[in-house]
Structure 1
Amino acid sequence: MEGPNGIVYQGADEWFSSDGVDGDGPQGWRLDVVTLLAVIGESSIAEHAQVITASVLCLLPRIIPAPQALLKPSRPQRLPETTAKMTGVYSGVALDTVSFFANILHPLDELPALGFKVLEIKHRDRNNAGGIEVPPQSPINGSVFFSRFRSNGRTNTSLSLAARSIKGPPPDALEDEPTPIRGRATGLSAAFSEDIEAGPNPPPQGITRRQTMKEKVQDFVANPTLVNKSERPAIPATLWSPIHILEIFSALLTYGIIGFAVSQKDGTAIIAVTLMAAASSVVGLASWWRPILTNRSHTNKVPDGDIIIRTREGAFLLVKCTEEVARELYSGTEECDYRVSGQFYRALMGLGTFLLMASVILLGNCKWNSQIFVSGAYVVLNGMYWALGLIPKRYFWDLSRYECKVITPEDSLNAEKETDPNDPREGNKSFTRTLWWAIRETKRTAWVHRNGAAPNTPQWQMWLNEAEAAAKAGDRKWKAVARKDEIMKMTDDEIAKIPSTVPARAFDEAEQAVPAIQIHPQDREQGKGGAF
């Protein structure tokens, strides 16, 4: 077969040659598909879009697969949430979703069906008021014992250290007091600020723990500013995040492509890759953000913030925590604080779209060797971004602010398994048994109705009353499943004739009244309060 340039193809070349022109690859092959490779992988980029744009590294000029995944008409104001029934055991707050960071601390998809787990989550460096956590005073030789304090570099987004005051003699008077701290008390500067004194007065100015080099670099990556008093994100992207490593790698790869194009004297490739890298920086600037968590601005006394979560598969997760932790991770909102305004964002989106279109056109007109290099780079980057989806999200965010421990009682383990083959009721897994184990730990049933975990029938109400009484009495071996089977055989009239053995509560700790406009007209006529 004779090609357009008078070249005669024989054998295998006759079967696999292309009608190319001068400047094409071997046997006339072309790589027009390089423009398609540049926009493939949108799902992988969209999955990591929040982490990609959460640090200053999003401004690095680099090529990324499918940059159009970041070209959105509007920016999300909140982080993605997971669907699950969540209820405050004491507060009565009821929501249908679990926040982004809470689901990272305890992934709900790892809970087996009908499973049960109890967690304790608390701040590593904060007390209930949001200030520094310090042990109580301990008198030693007539003075005050200085306790060691470690803050892990965390600061609250709105509460100051004065929320947890510190008491003691003036700093100058501490010089003559024997203390277990290193050096003299007058040297309580950044170098010796791990030890502080507990009490109700504000601490002397400057008594904070010195940050490590890693924390300083991580702070700069998450919030690059030279202002010392600037507030850092409560949960920044971790310094050694896989996304950060990949962003630096893709930037170096981009510079390598440009250098190769220079050696090939391919001006089209140089301009195309430069415009694509500039588009990623423009889009990154438009979407650059940091997470801001909700916290308490007052120190009023409030109930504990314990949270119960029920998944669609019938699993229960009990989280024991303070109201401050519950406000940050569960009942509060995780807002996105963007660096640029809405009008500037739309202008940057328009510029990024133009740069992307121009670069795609130019990529299809690069020389053969440059197209080979660019195509290989996009294939590698697509594979790496896809592989990031296999890594747990806890490796992308710095969650050291919280301490999470599993405290499930021994007799509440393995709710999703058969625990006693000799007992066909209490020993087999069932929703009723898991629900009873949750009630046994909370010693409350008010949350059950708000959570939608049980039907609102006289039979179930009778069972819940007996379950709460058994839980408060400490009867952990109460036959919950057997008793439920007995009650379900009773009619409504039979239950109505049985006097209640459970005293009515004078106050429902978890009750919330619905506004009048949300009460069903039929309930309003009957004088019902509309509690939910």
Structure 2
Amino acid sequence: MVHIEFVRGFQNLQLNIVGFLAILGEGSILTNAQVSTLSQWMFVPRLLPAPQALLTPSRPSKLASSRGHVTGVHSGNDRDYINHIGNIVINAESMQEFSVRCVEIIRASETAVKAKVVAPLTGAALLGCTLSIVLIGLSIYYQDGMALIATALLSLLSTLIGLGNKWTLQLPKRVATNPLVPPGDVVIRYPKGSFLIVKCAEDVARELFFAPENINYLVPHAAVYRIISLVSTIMLMFGVIALGNATNNLQIAFAGSYIFLNSAYWIVAALPTKLHWDTSCFKVKMQRLEGSEKNKHFADHNSTFTRALWKVIAITKSIDWINRSGAAPETDAWNRWLRDAKAAAEREGSYEDPVDGTVVWKIPQWHPQERLRELLAEFAGPEKGSGSTDDG
């Protein structure tokens, strides 16, 4: 009979590589790295999974952008990406293909965009701090000096990393006031062919979509930051060495702590990014199209890009922005279609829903798909290519 023997007890466990658990989980840390270093909780001494993810040779000079094309309807501004804060405020990451939405954004206060004081990341930070306190208590109880050193180094490491990476956000503001400034309405076109129309003042459009998002670091000098990173790296290495020389009881406690902590950070990373940001200084009012779904998003779904584009024109009453954004081919057929769409759009406007006060946009009776087919056939020929199909 074959005799299979497993570990008989905790004292026989081989935990020489438990220190590797302290440097696992870079993905979950990097997902919310910028908002976490914006928060004051970054200074709290605590266990932090994969702290080396924040020990980079240089710090980001701008916030991460999102895919999409942003075009000012009247201003002439155009960007082939969406600013990070603008993307957080509009919260439109889950828009379906060829869908259309409309919102209004106003400045509700002069406060700054910042990290939420109470958020999922706060819970993860408090969990790491609690585990540090528990491990310090266990180290003293079991008289394990190496575990105590490891806990101190790995916990204070987060504070030092926070010092080097802490920053504040500064959204640029218009200094000069000009009463002749055009409306700041913006159209955002997403890769799936969906559209989001943003009704706003030019100052709001500049803050959220067109001006650079300035990152002001607490430690502005790159040389000082590199020294902090060097000291932090040394602390991490000595902390892992000390952890590897702790007793089995404390190594088991560290292993459990990092497994628990990594799980918590992975859960936090899977949550919507908006949950971590305080954007209460901007107020978003939902608007909808006639016939759109009546839920929190008021999305209007369409079968083709052409129909979606027509409804955007019906709301903006403008086609000048389309060529700047590259939303339609520059052919004779399409140019004629755009002019016809603009003329049809001017027949209807908007009204306020008497039930909830929501602005509702009326879509004129016009057949964009059929009209495009007619024009493609009219301009078809060996010398006049349409450059597109009838599905837009």
Matched residue, 1:491? 379
Matched residue, 1:338? 217
Provide the rounded CA distance (Å) in 2 between the counterparts of 1:39 and 1:492: 62
- Residues 132-182 of structure 1 show CA distances to partners (whole Å, capped at 9, x for unaligned) of xxxxxxxxxxxxxxxxxxxxxx44xxxxxxxxxxxxxxxxxxxxxxxxxxx
- Residues 291-319 of structure 1 show CA distances to partners (whole Å, capped at 9, x for unaligned) of 11111111113101000011111101100
Matched residue, 1:443? 317
Matched residue, 2:96? 112
Provide the rounded CA distance (Å) in 2 between the counterparts of 1:268 and 1:317: 57
Unpaired runs of at least 5, structure 2: 294-298, 349-362, 385-392
Matched residue, 2:369? 481
Q: Kindly provide the amino acid, as one letter, of the partner of residue 79 in structure 1.
A: L
Q: 1:403 aligns with which of 276, 279, 283?
A: 283
Superposed, 1:106-505 pairs within 5 Å as 106-125=90-109, 154-155=110-111, 234-301=112-179, 302-340=181-219, 341-411=221-291, 415-417=300-302, 429-474=303-348, 476-491=364-379
How far did 1:82 drift?
Answer: 0.3
> Higher helix share goes to which structure?
2
Provide the rounded CA distance (Å) in 2 between the counterparts of 1:78 and 1:437: 34
Q: Secondary structure at the match of 1:478?
A: coil
Matched residue, 1:95? 79
Q: Kindly provide the amino acid, as one letter, of the partner of residue 240 in structure 2.
A: V
- TM-align CA RMSD: 2.1
Provide the rounded CA distance (Å) in 2 between the counterparts of 1:17 and 1:482: 74
Alpha carbons 1:82, 1:98 under 8 Å: kept: yes
Matched residue, 1:527? none
Q: Kindly provide the amino acid, as one letter, of the partner of residue 75 in structure 2.
A: S
1:40 aligned onto 2:24: yes
- Residues 62-81 of structure 1 show CA distances to partners (whole Å, capped at 9, x for unaligned) of 11110001011111111111
How far did 1:412 drift?
Answer: 5.5
Provide the rounded CA distance (Å) in 1 between the counterparts of 2:128 and 2:271: 19
Provide the rounded CA distance (Å) in 2 between the counterparts of 1:492 and 1:96: 31
> Higher strand share goes to which structure?
2
How far did 1:362 drift?
Answer: 1.4
How far did 1:394 drift?
Answer: 2.2
Q: 1:72 aligns with which of 56, 69, 78?
A: 56
- Residues 432-461 of structure 1 show CA distances to partners (whole Å, capped at 9, x for unaligned) of 111000011111111111111110111111
Provide the rounded CA distance (Å) in 1 between the counterparts of 2:379 and 2:123: 65
Q: Secondary structure at the match of 1:489?
A: helix
Provide the rounded CA distance (Å) in 2 between the counterparts of 1:325 and 1:337: 21
Provide the rounded CA distance (Å) in 2 between the counterparts of 1:435 and 1:285: 48
How far did 1:92 drift?
Answer: 1.3
Q: Secondary structure at the match of 2:288?
A: coil
Alpha carbons 2:289, 2:300 under 8 Å: kept: no
Provide the rounded CA distance (Å) in 2 between the counterparts of 1:44 and 1:116: 32
1:31 aligned onto 2:15: yes
Q: Which moved more, 1:271-280 or 1:112-121?
A: 271-280
Q: Secondary structure at the match of 1:53?
A: helix
Q: Kindly provide the amino acid, as one letter, of the partner of residue 16 in structure 1.
A: F
How far did 1:270 drift?
Answer: 0.6
How far did 1:492 drift?
Answer: 6.3
Provide the rounded CA distance (Å) in 2 between the counterparts of 1:399 and 1:472: 35
Q: Which moved more, 1:322-331 or 1:51-60?
A: 51-60
Provide the rounded CA distance (Å) in 2 between the counterparts of 1:395 and 1:479: 41
Unpaired runs of at least 5, structure 1: 1-9, 19-23, 126-153, 156-233, 418-428, 497-532
Alpha carbons 1:108, 1:311 under 8 Å: kept: no
Provide the rounded CA distance (Å) in 2 between the counterparts of 1:273 and 1:324: 48
- Residues 418-477 of structure 1 show CA distances to partners (whole Å, capped at 9, x for unaligned) of xxxxxxxxxxx2111110000111111111111111101111111111111222243811
Provide the rounded CA distance (Å) in 1 between the counterparts of 2:333 and 2:192: 23
How far did 1:252 drift?
Answer: 2.1
Alpha carbons 1:85, 1:95 under 8 Å: kept: yes
How far did 1:52 drift?
Answer: 1.7
Bigger radius of gyration, 1 or 2? 1
Provide the rounded CA distance (Å) in 2 between the counterparts of 1:87 and 1:38: 45
